[in-house]
Amino acid sequence: MKMITDKIGFTPISIDAYVERHAKANRDDKPEEVRAWLQRALRDHKAGVKCQCGNPLWVIGSAVSGNACFTCITGAAGPDSDFEIDDAMK
């Protein structure tokens, strides 16, 4: 299976916009907790933390599933316009 090694294929989204979308779809999750999870995963990404397979972290997935890349979290070879935090794509 091909593993992604960069952020190509993702659709950028701000933390604020993602938290809003997440809150609408997951009414039991508190927005301030989701924001904290995303900020932790983004800090780890910016610090150079990698997935156990060596690929870059998928911040949105890592916020919920623990630090891992898109492929390890989803089993898919790569994103198909899936969201990623815009600050992680810089």
* pLDDT value at 3 more than 50: no
Identify the pLDDT of residue 8.
Answer: 82
Write out the residue range of the structural domain in which residue 38 sits. Answer: 11-89
* Count of CA atoms in the C-beta half-sphere (13 A) of 73: 22
Count the domains in the chain: 1
* pLDDT value at 7 more than 90: no
> Rounded to an integer, what distance in angstroms lies between the CA atom of residue 34 and that of residue 32?
5
* pLDDT value at 16 more than 90: yes
> Rounded to an integer, what distance in angstroms lies between the CA atom of residue 80 and that of residue 24?
22
In a domain, 65, yes or no: yes
In a domain, 63, yes or no: yes
* pLDDT value at 1 more than 50: no
In a domain, 2, yes or no: no
Percent helix, strand, coil in the chain, to 5, is 50, 10, 45
Average pLDDT on 60-70 reads: 96
pTM for the whole thing? 0.89
